[in-house]
Chains A and B, each alone.
Chain A
Amino acid sequence: GAVVSQHPSRVICKSGTSVKIECRSLDFQATTMFWYRQFPKQSLMLMATSNEGSKATYEQGVEKDKFLINHASLTLSTLTVTSAHPEDSSFYICSAGYPGFVEQFFGPGTRLTVL
């Protein structure tokens, strides 16, 4: 149980375009989803926390207009990187959780490359 999927696993886009990444909890209802970013050879940094039906909470330094997060249902959260630039190239990982449970369940990640 507690499986989280991400789509796509890899995406290459041109600078200036927008890219949407989906995060789904496959076998449970995730009231909370998290988006992390991981640069090469570095650790995971939390970008934002999203709760179903409400606005996402962004970490300091993360541009909310650039990284749009939508958590419209209990099984789906999306991260849209708007007007992507090469410096947005990174590995994006989502995780999901539910009330009363400390552990987060991580997706497999999405490799974004902006040319």
Chain B
Amino acid sequence: AQSVTQPDIHITVSEGASLELRCNYSYGATPYLFWYVQSPGQGLQLLLKYFSGDTLVQGIKGFEAEFKRSQSSFNLRKPSVHWSDAAEYFCAVDWGGSQGNLIFGKGTKLSVKP
């Protein structure tokens, strides 16, 4: 079965430090890749997405992600974390491009130390 893995359940970084959240997916057809952020009690906000083209994609709030087909990965990065970035981050993958096949990872909770 197709799956999405976020190996880190909880990450704590200091404010101003760099951040990388990992996401791996099982092999399948051309993936459509997404990163979402969720604050407590809130819905999902799309940070960025990759459909095709340049494998390094820029998103909102200073986030970027790199698609590496050979590693089946789509890691999220930010060079300098702000306290307001503390939230839950979800990686999601859609195989085949047809709606309804969006599979979410279990999420990574980000805490930011002052």
Contacts and interface: CB of A to CB of B under 8 A. Distances in A.
Interface string B88-108: 001000100111101011110
Main secondary structure of the interface of B (DSSP, over half): loop
B105 A106 contact: no
B102 A108 contact: no
Chain A interface residue number, banded: 20 to 34
Interface string A75-115: 00000000000000001010001000111101111010000
A102 B51 contact: yes
Given A97-B99, A111-B41, A103 B49 contact: yes
12 contacts: A32-B99, A42-B106, A43-B104, A45-B104, A49-B100, A97-B99, A103-B46, A104-B102, A106-B43, A106-B44, A109-B41, A109-B43
Interface of A: 6, 32, 34, 42-46, 49, 57, 91, 93, 97, 101-104, 106-109, 111
Interchain residue pairs A-B with the least CB separation, the first 6: A108-B43, A106-B44, A109-B43, A97-B99, A43-B104, A43-B106
